[in-house]
Amino acid sequence: MATVEELLRTGIERLRAAGSETPRLDAELLLGHAIGADRTVVVAHPEALVGDGAAERFEADLARRATGEPVAYIRGFKEFFGLAFAADPRALIPRPETERLVELAEAEVMRRLTADPRPAGSPPLRVADVGTGSGTIAVSLAVTLRKRRVSDGVMILATDASGDALDLARENAVGHSVADTVRFAETDLLPPVGDPFDLVLANLPYVRSGAVETLPVAASFEPREALDGGPDGLAAIGRLLARLPDVLADGGVALFEIGADQEADMTRLVGEVLPGWRVAIERDLAGLPRVARVERS
């Protein structure tokens, strides 16, 4: 039997030769998956022996990763906001940058629930997660609000144009015990009728069409429609901006994830589509533009 260290060394060399951007991390995650342990166990015990069955699973997973298949799809899950989400080709793999959107959404909901007294019988705050994909934003927000014991005061609607993605989102909602808190709707952006929303969240495709082919090969395994944002990357975002006057409640706020190079373009687009509305750009932990906050003046 080989040791953890020996298998890792071989795996790292193989993935580096295959062009992986993160060969060591990939190998550690895949070996942990093969032996049924967390990556930290793999790193902490290089001398441990690995059984033949686990070594064979590791070899098979290495072969898949060497073709470019994302580690999240191979393992079947991805960590996001301290939670584990089922991940497969039905939806985009959640990125850590999107956690900033969840943080801002949580802060906005809590501000609205606590800033002013809410009389008994007040309707719940209405939150929409547009283009929910695997449901990471809606589910993460619902779990966080449940921990803070305010989930009864919030209604979350998660939408997506892909029925397959919504099936995955529902599975994640069930897996995190918030299926009774988050509702799902298959629709283009938002349903045509209904009560307005106090908070609209959107992580819509924002990669420029011409740049999709330049993304790491792992992205080619993900749904292109979840990445391709049109010639300027803002096609879907622009369509949702145009809907805001009809779907956003008075005093409501919309939060859009954007690319790190789209601050000026997003600010210009809001001015064109929603003259007189305010837009502020929030930054992520790296100091890069990440979330656009849009509201009526």
Domains in the chain: boundaries: 2-67, 89-295
Q: Are 79 and 71 in contact (CB under 8 A)?
A: no
Q: Which residues in the chain come in under a pLDDT of 50? A: none
pLDDT given for residue 116 in this prediction: 73
Beta bridge partners of 230: none
Phi and psi torsions of 72, nearest 5° = -60, -40
CATH-assigned architecture of domain 2-67: Orthogonal Bundle (1.10)
Strand order in the sheet with 154-160: 182-186, 154-160, 125-130, 197-202, 248-257, 289-295, 278-283
CB 76, CB 36: distance < 8 Å: no
**pLDDT confidence of residue 118:** 73
Considering the segment(s) 89-295 as one domain, its CATH architecture is 3-Layer(aba) Sandwich (3.40)
114 alpha-carbon distance from chain centroid: 27
**Res 194: pLDDT:** 84
d(CA 70, CA 115): 43
Q: What is the pLDDT of residue 30?
A: 97
The predicted structure's pLDDT at residue 26: 97
Instruction: Give the span between the Cα atoms of 240 and 255, in whole angstroms.
Output: 11
CA dist 258 and 237 (Å) reads 9
- The sign of the CA dihedral 97, 98, 101, 102 is negative
To the nearest 10°, the Cα dihedral for 141, 142, 145, 146?
-150
* Residue type, position 289, single letter: P
Q: Output the pLDDT for position 120.
A: 74
Residue 276, helix vs strand vs coil:
coil
Q: What is the pTM of this model?
A: 0.94
Q: 3-state class of 138 per DSSP?
A: helix
User: 139 phi and psi, to 5 degrees?
Assistant: -70, -45
pLDDT of residue 297: 82
d(CA 113, CA 125): 8
Report the distance separating Cα 46 and Cα 95, nearest Å: 29
Rounded Cα gap, residues 58 and 271, in angstroms: 52
The C-alpha atoms of residue 101 and residue 274 are separated, in whole angstroms, by 22
